[in-house]
Structure 1
């Protein structure tokens, strides 16, 4: 789930410290007395290969097969985008942004996906050839780009679409800001994009 913050932006809610106990969990506990009932992040299949950091924590199960409400959280748990209530991603880049934000993927995975993704950039008219940069909160000039038209600020006069690779030559050394002001954003140095582009 998500909720608005003080600025009216959508922000993910944190997962509860103690997951609710469901009937299926009670059934599992009855079949496995004197054990631990592990709670798995909802993005993972409990019957599949679950990494240690996808385990939310565990409840002890007593000899009668009853769950003891003494939840033991996993200090290494990394909540998934779904568990944090992020909006459903549209496309490869949005999905990767969420996974990088939640430490399920490495930031190094972003540049190649950015280069092949279609992005919406600021344009006064469809014929505009140059890119427009803006100062961010740190005082840097960044070039904003959005993964879909619905995320573009309402006060922009217009947009044009380019792939990350197409806009790379016109960044003029400035970093690329993906979905600034959104729930999940990333600022990627032009050097990282250039290095990956030169490998192609």
Structure 2
């Protein structure tokens, strides 16, 4: 098998300390001497052979079946659990966490938003407060959980249905989901409108 990435002879971690070898890996090594034994991120739930990006790394068993070394996978994308993010507050937060790490589709975020009421900060003139995201995108921040709203500070806010909110967002602005959460996401308004139209068509058919 072709070897890729950086090998650590003796299975040592980033600080030079030995990595703990799981019991199931030790047993697999005894059953399969002289092999690379891949470790998959526990959040991967797909079918068939796991893609390269969900492989955390791999252990090497020697000719005697004992584990000899560890090799990182430079293409690995850590899951929300691996990154230590807190449990999602709601289905939107869950979909965002999965989408930004590559473990779920971006379309799931817009689907999770449909039919919900969300909180928006109110501007002095009334209506949703507009802001700018870290990358400079004009956007309207919205909060799907009271936890994220309270984390944003003691500011005036109101609840609004998502289908009504898209009509209140200023032209050229996006939606900025849960900016005070562990991970946020910018959604183009056209994508939300299209998801609303699709939902309406399914209801009518």
TM-score by length of 1: 0.75
**RMSD between superposed Cα atoms in Å:** 2.9
Contact (CA 8 Å) 2:90, 2:145: kept in 1 or not? no
Q: Tell me which residue corresponds to 2:127.
A: 130
Q: Distance in 2 between matches of 1:139 and 1:86?
A: 25
Q: Following TM superposition, by how much is the alpha carbon of 1:190 offset from its aligned partner in structure 2, in angstroms?
A: 1.3
Q: Tell me which residue corresponds to 2:57.
A: 57
Q: Distance in 2 between matches of 1:94 and 1:196?
A: 18
Q: Distance in 2 between matches of 1:57 and 1:186?
A: 28
Within 5 Å, give how 1:1-200 maps onto structure 2: 20-44=20-44, 49=48, 51-52=50-51, 53-69=53-69, 71-123=70-122, 130-152=127-149, 153-157=152-156, 159-173=157-171, 174-199=173-198, 200=200
Gaps of 5+ in 2: 1-12, 201-205
Q: Following TM superposition, by how much is the alpha carbon of 1:20 offset from its aligned partner in structure 2, in angstroms?
A: 3.6
Contact (CA 8 Å) 1:93, 1:117: kept in 2 or not? no
Gaps of 5+ in 1: 1-15
Q: Distance in 1 between matches of 2:169 and 2:63?
A: 64
Q: Following TM superposition, by how much is the alpha carbon of 1:118 offset from its aligned partner in structure 2, in angstroms?
A: 3.2
Q: Distance in 2 between matches of 1:101 and 1:131?
A: 25
Q: Following TM superposition, by how much is the alpha carbon of 1:187 offset from its aligned partner in structure 2, in angstroms?
A: 1.2
SS at match of 2:99: helix
Contact (CA 8 Å) 2:130, 2:141: kept in 1 or not? yes
After TM superposition, what 4+ stretches of structure 1 lie above 3 angstroms from structure 2? 16-20, 135-141
1:154 and 1:193, CA in 2 relative to 1: closer, same or farther beyond 3 A? same
Q: Distance in 1 between matches of 2:187 and 2:114?
A: 11
1:197 and 1:61, CA in 2 relative to 1: closer, same or farther beyond 3 A? same
TM-score by length of 2: 0.74
Q: Following TM superposition, by how much is the alpha carbon of 1:101 offset from its aligned partner in structure 2, in angstroms?
A: 0.9
Contact (CA 8 Å) 1:145, 1:179: kept in 2 or not? yes
Contact (CA 8 Å) 1:58, 1:73: kept in 2 or not? yes
